[in-house]
A and B are shown apart, each in its own frame.
Chain A
Amino acid sequence: MVYKKIVKMIPVEKRETLSDKLLNYLLKTKKEAKMPSSMANCFLTQWQTSTFDDEAGLAVLLEATATVELEKTTEFVEKDLQLADVAKAIKEAAA
């Protein structure tokens, strides 16, 4: 729910870039153990039934990536996408 609200703060034109970057962070992470199996299953169900480009999909992906690679995620959102308020909201949600 929190992450759905965060996604709404992200301009639509930046969502595809973010989704692509987050998938790379997630699939290349070495911190696999940080991913709870319930979250992993939610991630896979989303991928099986839809994509990560729409609001619901991006929320699932953002939550998973913030759980596993918080620093990389917030750095990209803040520095590359220039969305400091979104980065702050992600940090608060993940805390």
Chain B
Amino acid sequence: MIMVKFGVEFVPKEAYWKTVYYAIQSEKRGFDNLWITDHYNNRNVYVTLAATAMYTKKIVFGPGVTNPFLVNPIMTTQSLATLDELAPGRVVLGMGAGDKTTLASTGIEANKQLSAVVDAITIFKKMLEGKSVNYEGNVFKVSGTKFNFKPRGQIPVYIGAQGPKMLATAGKIGDGVLINASHPKDVDYAVSQIKKGVDEAGKNMSDVDVTAYTSFSVHKKLDKAMQAASPVVAFIVAGSPDIILERHGLEMEKANAIRAGLKKGDFGAAFGSVTPKMIEAFSIAGTPDICNEKIARLLKSGITQFVVGSPIGPNVRNSIDLISEQVIPNFKQ
């Protein structure tokens, strides 16, 4: 029996009590990890996580992912250290470079992304030691920075990565890597890059929680699962570089139709242009049996945590129950 951790991702776009309801449900239904996305245009990730901490007992949680451009690394460290007091030993950090398009709308130029992430994680780890920190990185510099309280200790760091350099860096300095991919081709490639960083650091792959952070949709009826996945896949296609689309043999004409539809706000046209091949490339969608097969394939790539991300299914509550009953038991002892 293969052992893998199961995580779940929620986007806090609705009232806090809905997200916390799903968090409690996920814990009750056997999920190990909970990731809350961090976007300025949704509810605040740390307020949501604090509420989650108060209503759960064992699920491990963290931002999935924050970025150093919108939230200064010192504030990220302060937030996580405080959360670690609310839920000792259950907190992890998910850190990535952020989405350039979203950041651009806030007036932030996300330059030197790799350096910014490395600097942020270095500052995070040093500040959690509870000592005065002096650090001069390529993007962030701190001088004599110290908390007036003693953090409980180190908090595991997961790095959200897609490109080869970020993936290798994640393997080198991270406790975990969040691979934003659902297809074996992409996950295999990511794992090979992570291994380069792991080797460089003289670590073992078993030192890193290799996490497939997927777009997931499950329903007893295939068409309903696919339909629910379409909007999320449309956004993934629109934001993917052409090289990724070509890797999966996707039609550029259709991809451009999606991009144009989303740009005009014509969501019907955009979502309607999503093809089954696109859903296959960028999500795990289907009946529980189909999802089980796809997860099993990803496990062969070497992943140690599987995250069910948006949309999860046409009805989130029912899909969490379905995953708990017909998916997780196949991968847990």
Q: Which residues of B contact A24 (CB under 8 A)?
A: 315, 317
State whether A44 and B24 are in contact (beta carbons under 8 Å apart), knowing that A23-B317, A24-B315, A27-B317 are contacts in the complex: yes
> Are A44 and B20 closer than 8 Å at their CB atoms?
yes
Docked CA distance A64–B1 (Å): 43
CB contacts between A and B, total, < 8 Å: 32
B87 → A minimal CB distance (Å): 14
Q: Cα distance A43–B20 when bound, in Å? A: 10
**Nearest chain A residue, comparing its CB with the CB of B27:** A48
Give chain B residues whose Cβ lies under 8 Å from the Cβ of A27: 18, 21, 316-317
Instruction: With both chains docked as a complex, state the minimum distance between the C-beta of A7 and any C-beta of chain B, in angstroms.
Output: 20
Report if B14 contacts A (CB, 8 A).
yes
- Interface residue B17 (Cβ < 8 Å from any Cβ of A): yes
A47/B24 contact (C-beta < 8 A), A24-B315, A24-B317, A27-B316 known: yes
Residues of A within 8 A of B104 (CB): none
Interface: A9 (CB within 8 A): no
Interface presence of A35 (CB below 8 A): yes
Are A32 and B15 within 8 A (Cβ)? Answer: yes
Which of B18, B55, B56 contacts A32, CB < 8 Å? Answer: B18
Interface assignment of A84: CB less than 8 Å from any CB of chain B: no
A27-59 vs B, CB cutoff 8 Å, 1 = contact: the mask equals: 100001101000011011101100000000000
Contacts of B14 in A (CB 8 A): 32
Contact call A44/B317, Cβ cutoff below 8 A: no
A35 — which chain B residues lie within 8 A by C-beta?
15, 17
Q: B18: which A residues are within 8 A, CB to CB?
A: 27, 32
Contact B21 A44 (CB under 8 A): yes
> Provided the pairs A24-B315, A27-B317 are in contact, do residues A44 and B55 lie with their beta carbons within 8 angstroms?
yes
Bound-state CA distance A47–B56 (Å) is 10
Q: Nearest Cβ in chain B — how far from A59, in angstroms?
A: 17
- Nearest 6 pairs between A and B by C-beta? A32-B15, A40-B17, A48-B55, A47-B24, A44-B55, A48-B24
- B residues sitting closer than 8 Å to A (CB atoms) are 14-18, 20-21, 24-25, 55-56, 315-317
A–B complex contacts, Cβ < 8 Å, 13 sampled:
A24-B315, A27-B18, A32-B14, A35-B15, A40-B15, A40-B17, A43-B17, A44-B24, A44-B55, A47-B24, A47-B25, A47-B55, A48-B56
Using a CB–CB cutoff of 8 Å, the interface residues on chain A facing chain B are 23-24, 27, 32-33, 35, 40-41, 43-45, 47-48
Known: A40-B15, A40-B17, A47-B21. 13 other contacts (CB 8 A): A24-B315, A24-B317, A27-B21, A32-B15, A33-B15, A40-B16, A41-B17, A43-B21, A44-B20, A44-B21, A44-B24, A44-B55, A48-B56
